[in-house]
Each structure stands twice: as C-alpha cells, then as structure tokens.
Amino acid sequence: MHAIAVHGGAGTLPAADLTPAKERAYRDGLERALRAGFGVLDSGGASLDAVVAAVQVLEDDPLFNAGHGAVLAANGQHELDASVMDGRDLRAGAVTGVRHVRSPVVLARLVMDRSPHVMLAGPGAEEFALEQGLVPVPNTHFATERRRLELEQMLAGRAEAGRESLMGTVGAVALDAHGNLAAATSTGGMTGKKWGRVGDSPIIGAGTYAANDCCAVSATGHGEYFIRAAVAHEIASLMRYRGLDVVAAADEVVRGQLVRLGGSGGVIAVGRDGRVALPFNSEGMLRGAMDSRGLLVTGLLQD
C-alpha cells in the first residue's frame, strides 16, 4: 500500500475565480503534483522524495501561493517559508523568510540532511543555500501579475491583510511501500504580511509533522491559529493517545478545536494504513489524493 495527498491552499474561493477553465487549471495542477509524487512511490521510492517532488510541482506552478506565484509581503517582496519532516526518525528541516531560493522545500530538505539544525531564517538561510550550491534566483522569479494586483488592492484598503481569496500554502503527505511517512509544506505566506511574520508552514508540529507510528500531516489556513493549536502534532497525539484513526483525529482538530479557536483552514493527513483525510472548515480547500488501490481524486469546494 502506498498513498499521497496534496493541498494547494484553503479559504474562500470566489465564484468569479472558479470559471470552468480555472477549475480545470487547479485540478490539473493538483493532479500533476499527485502524479509526480505517486510516480516516486510507485517505483518503490521514499515518501520523503515523493512529498518533496509533489511540492516542487506546486511551487513551480504560478496558480499556487508557493515559489513562483507566491503572494507579496507589504514591502513588495516575496518571502517564502517551507518545511519537511521524515516520519522514520523524526528528522526535520525548515526555512523562513527566504527570497532567492527557487524551491524552498528543497532548501528545507537540505537543512535537514546537511546541517545540524532544524530551522534557519532569513539571510542566514540564504547563505546556507549558497553554501549548498543552490543557484539563487532574483526575487522577481516568483512574481505574477495576479499577486501584484492583490497586494495593490490590499494596500489601497480594498482587501484586508491575510484575508485574500485563498490562504495559500501547498503541501504533501505520503506513505511509501516501506511503511515510511513524510510531510512537506511550502508557502509565500499572507498577502501584505509585515514585520517578518512567520506562519505555521515552517513550524514543525504546527504546519508539518510526520511520525511512522501514526501519521503525516500538512496544514493550510490562518497560520496563527494553527500554531496556537499545534495542529499537526495534535492530530498525531489524538491518534497515539486517544486511539483515533487518521480521519477522526484530523476531523476533531480541524472541525472541532480549530473552529472553537476561530481558525479557518484545513489539513491533509495520511495514516500508517494509507488512509487519507482531507478535512477543512473553510469554504474550500484545493486538495487531491492518489493511492495504490486506484484512488485518484481532486477537490476544490465542499463535496
């Protein structure tokens, strides 16, 4: 049994944004990411390689708020966060506030594999990227006209910070044939974010968590609430100590605890049995799942 799930952000999907052509484009992007990760799993590869491959596809796709297509901070810059966790041994890597790294999730993996640290921030993280031989890209590499307009609207007071149509983040979780779980998350954060704001995406235990004894989780939504609820680790705790399965545990956190706290968004999670959960409490969540039993689904709004 092997399985992968991906997400491309949660929040409100305005009807205008959901023309048939746009819906097709979102579903195509999600499916490309699923197939990239599933291909790794299908050839006996590691879940860790699969989630990084899937997230890279979403980072390079301008539709999603990560890598190329990321939102703009108030200073007009793209400031990117990412993290990755290996369920085999709880190794993890994360970066926050990078501006010149084409694939933040690849840098997060390098932090995990080739540094003694878990999390690197800002210019220091970029220095590490250079030492690892990553070729820097200009910040404009991530630019799209859509995000420029979103920031302009926000700064003009026509939209609220952090309330853009879609609280974008991308992520992937996977179980491989060897029984190993892994999770990865990448984001441009909130449109118009200020003061070096760090959301849940690079926080191990909040936006990303994986442990072979229970589950792999990647979250998307209003990050501040996801940090306070320690969303990803809380799902693991409910499985470990209350004996919930992955669907019940993810549901309890997303539709129970987060709703009570006031936090909107969702998660993707996969259990050690390959069951996938894709719950969200917002109007929509871009999501998809694929497994070795023939499952292949993508979804945008409530079913």
Question: CB–CB of 59/180 below 8 Å?
Answer: no
Query: How far apart (Å, rounded) are the C-alpha atoms in residues 80 and 119?
Result: 13
CB 6 within 8 A of CB 170: yes
Strands (E), 33-90: 80-86
Nearest approach in angstroms of CB 152 to a copy of itself is 21
In terms of CB distance, is 28 or 213 closer to a copy of itself?
Answer: 213
- Shortest Å distance, C-beta 143 to a copy of itself: 20
CB of 119 to a copy of itself, least distance (A): 4
Which residue of the set 169, 191, 208, 220 is catalytic?
169
36 or 238, CB closer to a copy of itself? 238
Q: How far is CA 177 from CA 53, 68, 236, 294, in A?
A: 17, 31, 21, 15
Of 8, 11, 17, 27, the residue nearest 299 (C-alpha): 27
CB of 58 to a copy of itself, least distance (A): 24
- Rank residues 186 and 298 by Cβ distance to a copy of itself and give the closer one: 186
Distance CA 30, CA 57 (A): 9
Reference 280, options 227, 226, 241; nearest CA is 226
Containing H/E element for 34? helix 20-42
* Coil/strand/helix, residue 79: coil
List residues binding a copy of itself (CB under 8 A). Answer: 85, 90-92, 96-97, 115-125, 127-128, 161-162, 194-199, 203-206, 209, 223-224, 227-230, 233-234, 237-238, 240-242, 261
The yes-or-no answer on residue 220 being catalytic is no
In the bound state with a copy of itself, the residue whose beta carbon lies nearer, of 161 and 177, is 161
Catalytic residues, by residue number, are 169
